[in-house]
Amino acid sequence: MATHETTGATSMSCVSTPGPQDAREPAASYDVGRPMPSYGPAAPVRATDTQAIVAFVLGIFSVVMIPLLGPVAIVVANGVLRKVATGEIPVESRGLATAGRVLGIIGTVFLGLGALLLVVLVAVTAMRT
């Protein structure tokens, strides 16, 4: 139990304050003259191709907002996949390009369904007049 000096109130405290002997101990033990251990060379960073990212983003937009971007996403993604197959761009781009192509196909299906719905609505409206 500790007594507060200003107010004279008592409280239960679980926090211990460092004593004078704690201040003299080093924060970490290490050898000053010894070099740091080596873990080998860093692995090369192979970035994803920008066109693969563009295909993925276009595919997302074609599904979520603008189905007209679906065919564009398919074309861009097919170009990226062709470049991956020939080795022009890193293999790491394949996943985003494939996802962009699949999303572009889904967006294109939505575009086709929307066009079909528009044709049906125009035909029904024309028949009523």
Neighbours of 83 (CB within 10 A): 17
- This prediction's pTM: 0.62
Q: Are 68 and 62 in contact (CB under 8 A)?
A: yes
Per-residue confidence (pLDDT) for residue 12, from 0 to 100: 57
Q: How far from the centroid of its chain's Cα atoms is residue 30's Cα?
A: 39
Residue 96 has pLDDT above 90, yes or no: yes
Name the token pair of 26.
Answer: 């080093």
- Tell me the C-alpha distance between 57 and 61, whole Å: 6
Average pLDDT over residues 105-109: 96
Per-residue confidence (pLDDT) for residue 111, from 0 to 100: 95
pLDDT digits (tens, 9 = 90+) for 7-34: 555 555 555 555 555 555 555 565 667 7
pLDDT digits (tens, 9 = 90+) for 43-83: 676 677 899 999 999 999 999 999 999 999 999 999 999 99
